[in-house]
Amino acid sequence: MNITIVDYNSGNISSVVNSFKEVAQNKVNVEVTSDLKKIESSDKVVLPGQGSFKSCVDALNNINGLVESLDKFSIEDKKPILGICVGLQMFADIGYEETETKGLGWIPGKVFKINNQNGKYKLPHIGWNQINIVKESKIFKNIENNTHMYFVHSYEFIPNDKNVISATTDYSSNIVCSVEKENIFGTQFHPEKSDKIGLKIIDNFIKL
């Protein structure tokens, strides 16, 4: 099996790469690339994202044909893809960080700044927080509800269809922290920074 972690120059993805390689333990081929042919021919794709919504979308668009290859992989061929942090947010139609920016449009919805209730909640939301699993998700197999995951974000994805939400976390409001729509999976938290339980999520994705 080939798993491709998309490297599109959006910040440091070494912890994502290291975690996948640690879990895969040479049983699965993990490659880090922006090569379109390799992405389209792989079995699963991971789309990390660090920085702002706009900077990540711009970085994707800067690699000629990359968005089209990701569309083909996830929408046409319906192969499993995992978006992490801004990688999940980019599934949306539109994001409002820095300026209004068009997303990938795979899961209808928008990305807004977290309402910090006039400074009552610090932004970015950084650190460990409990997740509330609201629907059975393949990536949460054998993971208990109310476990803690590691977050770093100031913006939240609000999908139009609440049925895609697989987990939320309580920070100022119920923030969507995980989605599943057919072959498309996303986590707002960082599984690669969430200790053994995070590695279990990565393992579940690899074993899909």
Question: Which candidate in 125, 156, 177, 190 is catalytic?
Answer: 190
Residue 22 bridge partners (DSSP): none
| pLDDT at residue number 165 | 98
Question: Which candidate in 40, 56, 85, 177 is catalytic?
Answer: 85
| pLDDT at residue number 194 | 98
Active site residue 192: yes
**Crossing angle of helices 195-206/14-24, nearest 10°?**
70
> pLDDT tens digits, residue range 178-203?
999 999 999 999 999 999 999 999 99
Active site residue 190: yes
Question: Which candidate in 40, 156, 180, 192 is catalytic?
Answer: 192
Identify the segments of the chain with pLDDT beneath 50. none
CATH topology for the 2-206 domain = Rossmann fold (3.40.50)
| pLDDT at residue number 10 | 83
| Whole-number Å distance between alpha carbons of 76 and 73 | 6
Query: Phi first, then psi: what are they for 107, rounded to 5°?
Result: -125, 105
pTM score, two decimals?
Answer: 0.97
Q: Tell me the pairing of strands 165-171 and 173-181.
A: antiparallel
